[in-house]
Amino acid sequence: MSKVSTNQKSFLNRKEVDKSLASNIDDVTRAVGGFICDEFDCVHNNFTGKLYTGPSAILFTGRIFFFDWCQRISWMDVVQVKKKKRSVDIVVKEPKGTTFTFDNFFDPDRVWSSLVDLHSDSILDTPPKPATPRELSRSLRRNNSDPFSLSQAAFTFEKETNRESEDLQVLSTVSTEESIGNSSVTDDLSWISLLNDATSYSQVAVKDLELKCSLDTFFDLFISDSAKLSIPKYMQGSGEENVYSSSWKENDSLMTRVVEYSHPVNAPMAPPLAKARKEQSYRKYGRDGVALETKTIVEDVPMTDCFYVVDQIRVAAMGDKVFVTMVYDIRFVKSTMFKGIITRTTKADMEKSLQGLAAFMSKSLHHDGDTVLSLTKSSPPQQESQDYRSVSPASLQSFLSSTVLFLLFVFQLYIIWTLVCIQHDIAKLVANSLGHTALQDHILLESARVFQ
């Protein structure tokens, strides 16, 4: 989240937009410059909302409980757009060094690329035309984020160079035609950047699995809607229930879909089925390779709002072969006392799941690339299906649910035992008190007899 110091309040007050924007799309459109180029779900300053982009500005509208927050940033004030591990930072000129951080994007790479393109277009004398709002120009790139600036000794996406307004006016430009012609160069550099990114995914489950097929064959066999051995069919054949996959939707160079399913839970004191969904995005990097990113979210199980799991399947082309690498990461969104248990259990589950999927892909191909396996529940032997069974994070959630219920049961026993002890002590005190009173009465009676 962005940290705003006291000396930045005047800037925020000057840039803050009326809260009615959150419910008026026309005002949002006017605020960003006449049309909305794109919108992204994200989090800013603990407010969950949407980031709208336009030719002249970006606008964030969010809400937390009953409070609304709107933040408008003009492209004229932007100095740099930086992509970090899981967020995008926007640095502005006034006050110097002010940074606005936007988190929890589904695809931070796409958001960063879109923002860089729009910021570059805003520097041009002629902004993009409203007739094609989502066809973002690849024309001008700033030096600190320009993939075509190959003259730099060490290229980085986050290199910062401070510039004044007069410096921005003399930046070299690249025409739209040239940039479209160099799209293969962009794909090459984007693919290299993806392979060199060691921060987004901290764990490696499968490294350079060799498959004898082309990128197109891999897509047709495992990824496409009509794939004979698609991942949703693999999930269904390996034990998941009620599997439903939406069709791939194309958005610029990205394809997205959602896979919903129910995961059987065999743990005691847990629901028999846990609802879950996989939000997937697929991107092709020219002839270099493809990447399939999956975000798994489990519902109807306690503590599912504490974390989620993301994994990425990278397929690199090499002649008539491809090499598959599978990486993943556990991302916590809330603090929890079970973080250590969650991390250890999730690592084991994801390793088994991704390695099982890799083994399935490998055995699904002859050396000539023909399909040899069929994904039906009755065709493979039971033992073999167990080998390829995908372990969902739902199994972890059921384990945590059972653990919580067991702890609650133990706590209830402790409360009952404590109450019994307290009752026993009270009874003992009452008995002692009554006994003491009876003794005093007996002494008084004996004394009266003596004096008589």
Q: How many CB atoms within 10 Å of residue 308?
A: 18
According to DSSP, residue 130 is labeled: T
3 state DSSP class of 336: coil
Q: Does domain 198-402 have CATH number 3.30.530.20?
A: yes
CA distance 280 to 292: 7
* DSSP state for residue 20 in the 8-state scheme: G
Bridge partner list, 80: 91
Judged by DSSP in three states, 70 sits in: strand
Region for 257 from its dihedrals, namely left if φ exceeds 0, alpha if ψ lies in -120 to 50, beta otherwise? beta
Q: Alpha carbon of 12 to those of 3, 94, 316, 448: distances in Å? A: 12, 10, 45, 91
Residue 448 confidence (pLDDT): 62
Angle of helix 339-363 relative to helix 393-451, nearest 10 degrees?
150
- Where does the chain hold its CATH 3.30.530.20 domain(s)? 198-402
Q: Exposed, middle or buried by CB within 10 Å (0-12, 13-18, 19+), for 72?
A: buried
Rounded distance, CA 172 to CA 140, Å? 8
Instruction: For 401, list phi and psi in degrees, rounded to 5.
Output: -60, -45
Distance CA 158, CA 146 (A): 10
Contact status, residue 235 vs residue 261, Cβ threshold 8 Å: yes
Closest CA to 185 of 62, 289, 286: 286
Closest CA to 140 of 153, 127, 155, 150: 127
Q: What pLDDT score was predicted for residue 292?
A: 94
pLDDT at site 256: 93
Residue whose tokens read 């993301």: 310
Look at residue 79 in the predicted model and tell me its pLDDT.
84
Task: Determine which helix (DSSP H) or strand (DSSP E) holds 167, and give its type and residue range.
Answer: helix 165-168
pLDDT at 443: 60
Q: How would you write the pLDDT of the chain (452 residues) with one tens digit per residue?
A: 444 443 343 333 334 444 444 447 778 888 888 888 888 888 888 888 889 998 888 999 888 777 778 888 888 888 888 887 778 888 887 666 688 889 888 888 888 888 888 887 776 544 444 434 334 333 333 333 433 333 333 333 343 333 333 333 333 333 444 444 455 666 677 788 777 776 678 889 999 999 999 999 999 999 999 988 888 888 888 788 899 999 999 887 789 999 999 887 765 555 778 888 999 999 999 888 999 999 998 877 667 678 889 999 999 999 889 999 999 998 888 888 888 888 888 888 889 889 888 988 988 885 444 444 444 343 333 333 333 334 455 555 666 667 777 787 888 888 888 887 887 777 667 666 656 556 566 666 666 665 55
234 phi/psi in degrees, rounded to 5 = -60, -40
Domain span(s) for CATH 2.30.29.30 in the chain? 6-139
CATH tag, 6-139: 2.30.29.30
H/E stretch holding 144 reads none
**Which residues contact residue 452 at a Cβ distance below 8 angstroms, ignoring those fewer than 6 apart?**
none
Structure tokens at 262: 């129910």
Cα–Cα nearest to 369, from 326, 325, 318, 322? 322
Alpha-carbon span 244 to 233, nearest angstrom = 9
Which contiguous run of DSSP H or E holds residue 234? helix 231-237
Contact present, 85 and 97 (Cβ < 8 Å): no
Rg (CA), the chain: 31
The answer to whether 334 touches 207, Cβ cutoff 8 Å, is: no
Q: How far apart are CA 94 and CA 411, in angstroms?
A: 55
Residue 158, Ramachandran bin (φ over 0: left; ψ between -120 and 50: alpha; else beta): alpha
